[in-house]
Amino acid sequence: MEMEYKDPSRKGRWIVLLGVVLAVVAGASAFFLINNAQQQAGTTGLKTVEGYVAATPILARKPILAEDIELRKDIPLDNTNAGVINDPKLLIGRLLAVDVTQGQLLTQNLLASGTAGLGFAILRPEETIAPESEAWRAVSITVPDDRAVGGVLGAGMSVDVFITATVTVPEEPPVISNDPEATPAPARSALDGFESGRSTKITYQGMRILARAGTFYILKAPLVVAEEISHMQADGSAQFSMALRPDQDLRILDVSVLGATTNRIIERYGLPIPEPYPALDGAKPSNPPIPEITPPPAPTVPPEQPAPTAVPSAAPGG
């Protein structure tokens, strides 16, 4: 009886191949489980918060629309995202102080205004209201471009404000004489040595421009200063001018001895005082005659050119 022979090497190869596949599957499963466990361990105890981000790039000073924002619920809560906004009513219709990119978190310090339709905020992001804090207000003044650094001033700049007011010095009542032939005395100022005129002085220093619309400038001012400015504008006898300050210059100068009038400028710089001309006792000179206009030179006639000599023709009979 003959026995059938089977080669065991083929069966062994299948066993080895199956072992390799099982090892690969086991390794991949172990890697997935370990990685997932590490991620869960890393996020254990991490608090998240809801907040709105920019769904599309949003330009500064452009009202935010509903389609410009989207809600995220997985924002890690830490010190870098304080002031996160989770109410769309606080964003729609507001203006941003800076441009934001798509996906950027929208926080309170990015808003240019806390009121819809308002293009500025009176307080800076780091400023708060406290019982002892200054009562800041926004007040507007009208300054033409020629008195506002050529009209190049804008929001965020720091300026000094000058006031030019008309000062009226009262006159003494005329002295009435009993003598009908007496010459009446001329009216004199009640303040000896002074007369009515315009006076200019730097009044408010380091005022921040919040916004501008044409020649209207909205300034941040304490309540008492806002009251003074409002009165002078309503009175109509004062004019405002502004000078731009460097951003680095935060000094408040003592201006108690400053102030300009025409007389002070004449005395300080030695401007000559005009005199009557011509003298009242002299003859009035006449204007010199206007010289006659010299006619232009006549055009030069070019000399006549000799007639060209005929060239003999080589053709017969020519």
Q: Is residue 199 part of a domain?
A: yes
d(CA 145, CA 127): 31
Same domain, 264 and 143: yes
What predicted TM-score, i.e. pTM, was given to this entire model?
A: 0.52
Same domain, 148 and 206: yes
Output the pLDDT for position 40: 59
Same domain, 209 and 264: yes
Output the pLDDT for position 318: 42
Q: Is residue 104 part of a domain?
A: yes
Same domain, 216 and 143: yes
Q: Is residue 8 part of a domain?
A: no
Same domain, 168 and 232: yes
| Domains of the chain: total | 2
Q: Is residue 264 part of a domain?
A: yes
Same domain, 104 and 142: no
Q: Is residue 118 part of a domain?
A: no
Q: Is residue 32 part of a domain?
A: no
Same domain, 141 and 265: yes
Same domain, 100 and 159: no
Same domain, 55 and 165: no
d(CA 4, CA 91): 87
d(CA 94, CA 118): 7
Output the pLDDT for position 316: 47
- Residue of 129, 130, 92, 128 lying closest to 111 (CA atoms): 92
Q: Is residue 296 part of a domain?
A: no
Same domain, 99 and 142: no
Which residues partner with 137 through β-bridges? 221
Domain that holds residue 102: 48-110
Output the pLDDT for position 295: 83
Predicted confidence pLDDT, tens digits, the chain (318 residues): 455 555 555 666 677 777 777 777 777 777 777 776 666 555 555 677 888 999 999 887 677 888 999 998 888 777 666 678 888 888 887 778 788 899 888 888 787 765 555 567 788 777 788 888 899 999 999 999 999 999 999 888 999 999 999 888 777 666 666 666 666 666 555 566 778 889 999 999 999 999 888 899 999 999 999 999 999 999 888 999 999 999 899 999 999 999 999 989 999 999 888 877 766 666 666 677 888 888 888 777 676 666 655 555 444 444
CB 64 within 8 A of CB 96: yes
Same domain, 231 and 140: yes
> In this structure, how many other beta carbons lie within 10 angstroms of the beta carbon of residue 211?
20
Same domain, 157 and 265: yes
Q: What b/e string do you get for 18-36 counting C-beta neighbours within 10 Å, with b at 16 or more?
A: eeeeeeeeeeeeeeeeeee
Q: Is residue 126 part of a domain?
A: no
> 69: domain CATH number?
3.90.1210.10
**Which of 110, 126, 160 is where one domain is finished?**
110
Output the pLDDT for position 303: 67
